[in-house]
Amino acid sequence: MKAINLPTIKEIVLKELKELSRDKKIIILAVVIPIAIYPFVFFGIDKLFSIQESKLKSIGATVSLTGDSAMLLPYLRDAEYTFTFVTARTPDAGLNELNADLAVEIESGKDSNRSLIWILYDGSRDESIMAYRHLTKHLELKRPEWVRDRIVESGLPVSRLPSFHIEMTDIASPEARSGHKIGKILPFILVLMLTSGCAFTAVDLIAGEKERGCFETILVTSIDRRDLIIGKFLVVLVTGLVSAFLNLLGMVLTLKLGLFQSREGFDFAFELPVSTLGGIFVCTLPLGILFAAVLMVFSAKARTFQEGQLYLMPFTLLVLIPTFIVALPDIHSNSYVILIPVANIAVVMREYLEKAVNVPFFILANVVNLAYAGLILNWAIGYLETEGSLVTRATAAPSRIRRFDETRASVMTFVLVWLTMYFIMAPLQEWNLIGGLLITLYGLILPASLLHVKILKLPFRETFSLALPHWKAWPAVVPMTLGMLSLAQWLTHYQMQILPFPESLGRIFQETFQPEGITVWFSMFLFGISPGICEELLFRGAILGTLRRKLTPFRYILISSVLFAFVHFSVYRFFPVILLGLGFGYIAFRAKSIYPAMFAHALNNIVAIHLLPKYIPHDMPVYWYLTGLPLLAAGVYVFESINRNRTDIKRKVMHHEFLE
């Protein structure tokens, strides 16, 4: 791969920043508004609250009293709120005929000395809600006085009145308390700031330049398109981060200056210690990369600046949705949340602000998000290198010949399958193993393989290697598979020294692969033949067949094997599965057919599940597994000889044609 040209990227970045700094819209959107908006917003809200509150207080509220409720009057005279009392026959009459804001009725208990104060209010009117809140608050304050008066009325000594006193202590530190509050809103604000910061620049730098004709001007120079895209991407990222940082600064300063006070109904007061800014930045960076990359693609898809702006609203809404997760009660970082882009950062950021950070999850969330960002950026670069994205579609329709880079498309297919397996199929298998496994294989992996080939418009038979192999390939598969299996066991043994396999997991494996109530034949179909067909169609068919078009055999077999290992969701089986994947890949490569690889896969699974536990003693010396080596060598010898024969035949044919 060609190295990127840093001086060119620097020139592009400097030129873009120079142009952007001369654009009033950018200055207003990215600098002035972030700094100025918070004092205005917070101060404005604060003022509005005060005005509205004093207005309502001065007007007061009319309370209709019915029946015995007049006995409440002595307790309500010193209320802070201005209440005007009227008497009505029924609460409804008070509300409807006398236009009262509240209606109060008391039902005295006949069998007990407990009274029920019944308050009717109108939840659709602020005046009624405000009056209701003040009335209940005041009555709560007066409850001891009321109880004492009732005791005195009944002639009992007040000293006999049983009582308790509640005293609450919040054990959270002020930082943690503040962090809990801010952690619920900061991710939301940061995502909004980042998207708005990146969005305008992204749209201007590609869609805007397309519209102004400048994009074509730079495309006809000799610079590498990737350098151009990286340069523009960096500018989008920088403006997004700067805008987010300025927003944060504006908010912190506004709150530090005390322009906004905490008040009932709008509890927004929080502290954001300067020491936390580093951690927040660490979390913001992968988000910025992710958003900048996606927005670049949206911008490239648009023909004009206006069209680019149209894409922004759905994108902003889409990325805001995962941030709402932090507002849910009892959400913590776990292995599920950590894989959801944006949500993972939101959760670990909240934990970080609450001083309850789980360091491995914090690192993992950022790494995962960075991986998503890298993947999207890689895809964005691939997409932006295609002619359809670069030249305005109004004058040049995109060619369908090379819409996606095939290698990237394979990785994307794998990621989609993997995410679906992790989030949907794994819980489904936990709920119902047999059904879940069948759905995973025949409802996800098999259709995904077919769809991948169809969408990329690849030749079906060639990609899946659906040719019949040389007859010798079939017997050669047997020693080869047994050899691979032995070596995989040997590898597992050494891996156990570093990363011991938990006993509980061993039991789970045993229960999974030997479930009760199914016959041996069905088990062979479920765990042997089905994965052999479906998984091979995906890994040695769709993925390997696509990678083969661009990469060398070593690379495409290795990459498909690593992806194959990832889909097995087990760190303990990772390297042994890679080894098996390499073997299946080699078989498909040398046999020029997927069928022997399917046979090898099915055979491997059946032997591993049904024969190994029964016939191989647990305490067998490790070196016995190395007996697999000659078996493997025998298999490789046959496959190589098949290939040699083919090459000879080809040479002979060519020689014959030449002579003719």
Could you tell me if residue 100 is left (phi over 0), alpha (psi between -120 and 50 degrees) or otherwise beta?
Answer: beta
Helices then strands, counting H and E runs in the chain, come out as 30, 4
Among 219, 282, 518, 558, binds another protein (CB under 8 A): 219
Asked whether position 175 contacts another protein by CB under 8 A, the answer is no
Asked whether position 397 contacts another protein by CB under 8 A, the answer is yes
Asked whether position 223 contacts another protein by CB under 8 A, the answer is yes
Among 213, 265, 329, 459, binds another protein (CB under 8 A): 213
Asked whether position 650 contacts another protein by CB under 8 A, the answer is no
Asked whether position 380 contacts another protein by CB under 8 A, the answer is no
Asked whether position 306 contacts another protein by CB under 8 A, the answer is no
Q: What is the DSSP string of 40-70?
A: HHHHHHHHHHHHHHHHHHHH-EEEEEEGGGG
The pair of three-digit structure tokens given for residue 57, joined into one six-digit string: 């207080």
Candidates 140-148, 276-284, 395-403, 536-544; binding stretch for another protein (CB under 8 A): 395-403
Asked whether position 11 contacts another protein by CB under 8 A, the answer is yes
Q: Is 654 helix (H, G, I), strand (E, B) or coil?
A: helix
Q: What are the E-state strand segments in 247-348? A: none
Asked whether position 220 contacts another protein by CB under 8 A, the answer is yes
Asked whether position 1 contacts another protein by CB under 8 A, the answer is no
**Residue 276: CB minimum distance to another protein, A:** 37
Nearer to another protein, 19 or 127 (CB): 19
Cα–Cα distance for residue pair 544/560, rounded to 1 Å: 6
Tell me the CA distances in angstroms from 38 to 35, 162, 179, 190, 396, one per residue in order.
7, 51, 19, 14, 45
For residue 378, give the amino acid letter: N
Nearer to another protein, 23 or 271 (CB): 23
The pair of three-digit structure tokens given for residue 71, joined into one six-digit string: 């006995």
Asked whether position 387 contacts another protein by CB under 8 A, the answer is yes
Find residue 84's DSSP bridge partners: 62
**Residue 29: CB minimum distance to another protein, A:** 15
Nearer to another protein, 8 or 366 (CB): 8
557 alpha carbon, distance to own chain's centre: 30
The pair of three-digit structure tokens given for residue 227, joined into one six-digit string: 């350098």
Asked whether position 561 contacts another protein by CB under 8 A, the answer is no
Nearer to another protein, 127 or 216 (CB): 216
Asked whether position 53 contacts another protein by CB under 8 A, the answer is no
Asked whether position 299 contacts another protein by CB under 8 A, the answer is no
Site size toward another protein (CB under 8 A) is 33
Among 86, 120, 189, 218, binds another protein (CB under 8 A): 218
Of 115, 107, 121, 106, the closest CA to residue 63 belongs to 121
Nearer to another protein, 24 or 656 (CB): 24
Asked whether position 217 contacts another protein by CB under 8 A, the answer is yes
Nearer to another protein, 213 or 265 (CB): 213
Cα–Cα distance for residue pair 211/191, rounded to 1 Å: 28
**Residue 397: CB minimum distance to another protein, A:** 4
Asked whether position 224 contacts another protein by CB under 8 A, the answer is yes
Asked whether position 307 contacts another protein by CB under 8 A, the answer is no
CB 429 within 8 A of CB 436: yes
The pair of three-digit structure tokens given for residue 453, joined into one six-digit string: 């080939």
Of 13-32, binders to another protein (CB under 8 A) are: 15, 18-19, 22-23
**Residue 536: CB minimum distance to another protein, A:** 33
| Crossing angle for the helix pair 33-59 and 126-153, to the nearest 10 degrees | 50
Asked whether position 458 contacts another protein by CB under 8 A, the answer is no
At 23, phi and psi to the nearest 5?
-100, 115
Cα–Cα distance for residue pair 427/220, rounded to 1 Å: 52
Give the contacts of 221 (CB within 8 A, at least 6 positions apart): none
**Residue 388: CB minimum distance to another protein, A:** 9
Among 8, 66, 284, 560, binds another protein (CB under 8 A): 8
CB 405 within 8 A of CB 551: no
CB 309 within 8 A of CB 206: no
**Residue 411: CB minimum distance to another protein, A:** 23
The footprint of another protein (CB under 8 A) covers 7-8, 11-12, 15, 18-19, 22-23, 209, 212-214, 216-224, 387, 390-392, 395-397, 399-402
